[in-house]
Structure 1
């Protein structure tokens, strides 16, 4: 059996990574490409995706809003047209939203679930025929707060909890097709997520400082530390591993 994480395992394999314009998604796209994969980096911002693609010739940029009705099929078809199939889908794109219950609205809740739950589901559905042919893998990106309460952001936590349950349920459903489904659940990780959530620079700094203080290992994570485990979960060398959610959070979930 091949060693887990060996570069040869990804040579010429086709990997779709959503949210590839920054943070964990960019780190994942680069890690897969460096391991020999052909990577379709997906996101809404063409400029950010181009910046990712410029860092490795194995990455192709595909700008799309994955919440748009036709986007899941278009994303998968772009990979198939370019390279002939799909071996791995990394559902990384998502949004964090601070939304106390007193400020919750139907539109904000719907928007959050559409991005964090519905879009990954429809991307997986679109990729399914190709993953069946390759005995491929789906790796979802959850959060420590997918299985840990989060005050003032309950609906965000609920979307990640839903994604974790989808991971386990899909693993069971797709096992007869030899498609493995796993997830990583990062803790606070350096990214643009807080700024993208509309928070001020001062608030972002304060949140990052508070998070680092609460983490037993004393710091926030780096995107590359999460990307390492995305590769390992997708690696065919991990062929007997499915339905698992791996928490990578410096010990935060232990508190």
Structure 2
């Protein structure tokens, strides 16, 4: 088994989908701990907004579903920081369609972005993660945990359930290389993703209100709350935790 290097905290972090929502909050949380953070996304403007005011955040615009981008991400992190300690697979797209009305192109995009891209990016990152005794964090969703169903969101939920399976499998496959793999499964979080997925502002506000009232905690989540758990799970003190998928959802998945 590889012996991890002695870090007091993560030196170099990659966060995909870092231009908005949970990805942005995660980048800020790691930067606040002194880490160098490479945020990856498809929109330069939103990435620049994430990096604004943070000297240790770098940006890389690119589509992770393109063949050469996973390699470019790893090369950029190594060039900027000299190491890779944490990889946060957060980038995702969603479409709300029921069986019988699923658009093939949108279904393929979800599979490529939410499932295939994390596979290929993580594979590219294995050698530097092994050198650092690093951690992979996969962001899934509490809506796809266990035996739950999700009418109207089949392809998206399936990709996230698949990512949870990869978290468990990789944790066993990569343990001999000294790499941990953990998952965080957020509940409903106010990230603006509903609007980006096609809802109007009014529809999204109504959705958040309905979900907040049906969540035992009495509200929806904030991106910073998810980011806190991501950073905590990558601390040296958490090094015995691997293979787990942690729901952070105000107990919604228990109802």
Output the TM-score relative to the length of structure 2: 0.94
User: Is the Cα–Cα contact under 8 Å of residues 15 and 23 in structure 2 kept in the other structure?
Assistant: yes
Equivalence for 2:188: 188
User: Is the Cα–Cα contact under 8 Å of residues 8 and 236 in structure 2 kept in the other structure?
Assistant: no
Equivalence for 2:127: 129
Equivalence for 1:209: 209
User: Is the Cα–Cα contact under 8 Å of residues 86 and 131 in structure 1 kept in the other structure?
Assistant: yes
CA distance in structure 2 between the aligned counterparts of 1:55 and 1:191, rounded to whole angstroms: 21
CA distance in structure 1 between the aligned counterparts of 2:62 and 2:103, rounded to whole angstroms: 26
User: Is the Cα–Cα contact under 8 Å of residues 145 and 161 in structure 1 kept in the other structure?
Assistant: no
Segments of 4+ moved more than 3 angstroms: none
1:190 aligned counterpart, secondary structure: coil
**Cα shift at 1:19:** 0.9
1:102 aligned counterpart, secondary structure: coil
CA distance in structure 2 between the aligned counterparts of 1:249 and 1:97, rounded to whole angstroms: 21
Instruction: Please say which of residues 114-123 and 192-201 is displaced more in the overlay.
Output: 192-201
1:242 matched to 2:242? The reply is: yes
1:20 matched to 2:3? The reply is: no
Equivalence for 2:101: 103
1:218 aligned counterpart, secondary structure: coil
**Cα shift at 1:146:** 2.3
CA distance in structure 2 between the aligned counterparts of 1:105 and 1:45, rounded to whole angstroms: 24
CA distance in structure 2 between the aligned counterparts of 1:155 and 1:208, rounded to whole angstroms: 21
C-alpha RMSD of matched pairs (Å): 1.2
Deviations 1:83-138, CA, capped at 9 Å, x for gaps: 11211100011122211102113322111110100011111011111101111000
1:101 aligned counterpart, secondary structure: coil
CA distance in structure 2 between the aligned counterparts of 1:67 and 1:202, rounded to whole angstroms: 32
User: Is the Cα–Cα contact under 8 Å of residues 144 and 150 in structure 2 kept in the other structure?
Assistant: no
1:48 matched to 2:56? The reply is: no
**Runs of 5+ unmatched residues, structure 1:** 1-6
**Runs of 5+ unmatched residues, structure 2:** 1-6
Equivalence for 1:175: 175
**Cα shift at 1:8:** 4.3
Equivalence for 1:59: 57
CA distance in structure 2 between the aligned counterparts of 1:234 and 1:67, rounded to whole angstroms: 26
1:120 matched to 2:118? The reply is: yes
Across the two proteins, how many residue pairs are aligned to each other?
A: 247
Equivalence for 2:3: none
1:9 aligned counterpart, secondary structure: coil
User: Is the Cα–Cα contact under 8 Å of residues 13 and 85 in structure 2 kept in the other structure?
Assistant: yes
Output the TM-score relative to the length of structure 1: 0.94
Equivalence for 1:77: 75
Deviations 1:170-190, CA, capped at 9 Å, x for gaps: 000000011000010000001
User: Is the Cα–Cα contact under 8 Å of residues 13 and 84 in structure 2 kept in the other structure?
Assistant: yes
CA distance in structure 2 between the aligned counterparts of 1:143 and 1:186, rounded to whole angstroms: 5
